[in-house]
Amino acid sequence: MLQGIWVDEDAQTVAFKAKGDTIFYPDTTSLPVYFQIIDDTLVLHGVNEVKYPVVKQTRHLFVFKNQNGDEVRLTLSDDPDDANAFRHEKPQAINQNQLIRRDTIVSYEGKRYHCYVQVNPTSYKVVKSSYNDEGVEVGNVYYDNIVNLNVYQGAKKLFSRDFHKQQFASFIPKDVIQQIILNDVLFKKVDQEGIHYTASLGMPDNISSFQIELIVSYEGKLRMKV
């Protein structure tokens, strides 16, 4: 009875399409999700397994309670144009989708150091859970980054490394490492310890982040600390 395209009764917007054992969302960044209806419960097997109580189900009406306990009333669409919301073949991942390069020249005790940072977008997918307009948990797809840091003294290369988010796993709780991305590596300062950078890792579309300090010594050694 859930097969077809369903529309939010109040907002008159397309909520999802059920085809076979899969629910598809009109949002181009949300992953399709395998679903089951077990007794009076809608079960979605996405980033997490989530369950929603079904209040009423007929061929043309589907009512369930969302994450907040609010009733969501959906009606079966009879508008053929609603199928246009699902023309995208697969979810499109989100990222800055561009190469970022920065050069920084610093001096310490009469010596000049030339530092290069390059943020490289990758095809490594990160799936983050969020909630759509109906209060249903969905998985959104993002791309992670690899950041390359090089430090030169004149023509001499002191340090060169590609940073992946996994290299910071010891500083980040295990239950969130899979849903964050390496945002950037930014110059901070220079002092007797060396050249300081800050690696920023966080949930996509979230202003808060984990800040890990990278210190490259004048001998080319790396130290990391929170």
- Rounded CA gap, 97 and 102, in Å? 16
Domains contained in the chain, number? 2
DSSP 119-163: EEEEEEEEEEEEE-TTS-EEEEEEEEEEEEEEEEETTEEEEEEEE
Residue 208 structural domain: 100-225
The count of other CB atoms within 10 Å of the CB of residue 16 is 29
Sequence-distant contacts of 9-13: CB under 8 A, at least 24 apart: 9/73, 9/74, 9/75, 10/73, 11/133, 13/133
| Residue where one domain finishes, among candidates 86, 116, 141 | 86
> Which of 106, 162, 71 shows the shortest CA–CA distance to 63?
71
82-126 pLDDT, tens digit each: 999 888 655 554 455 567 889 999 999 999 999 999 988 887 878
pLDDT tens for 22-56 read: 999 988 778 899 999 999 999 999 878 999 999 99
How confident is the model over 124-171, as pLDDT tens digits?
878 777 888 888 888 877 888 999 999 999 889 999 999 999 999 999
Based on the domain organization, do 195 and 125 belong to the same domain?
A: yes
Which of 86, 117, 149 finishes a domain? 86
CATH number for position 159: 2.40.128.510
Position 75 pLDDT exceeds 90: yes
For residues 141 and 211, state if they share a domain: yes
Q: What is the pTM of this model?
A: 0.65
**Domain match, 57 and 115 both:** no
* pLDDT tens-place string over residues 177-186: 888 889 899 9
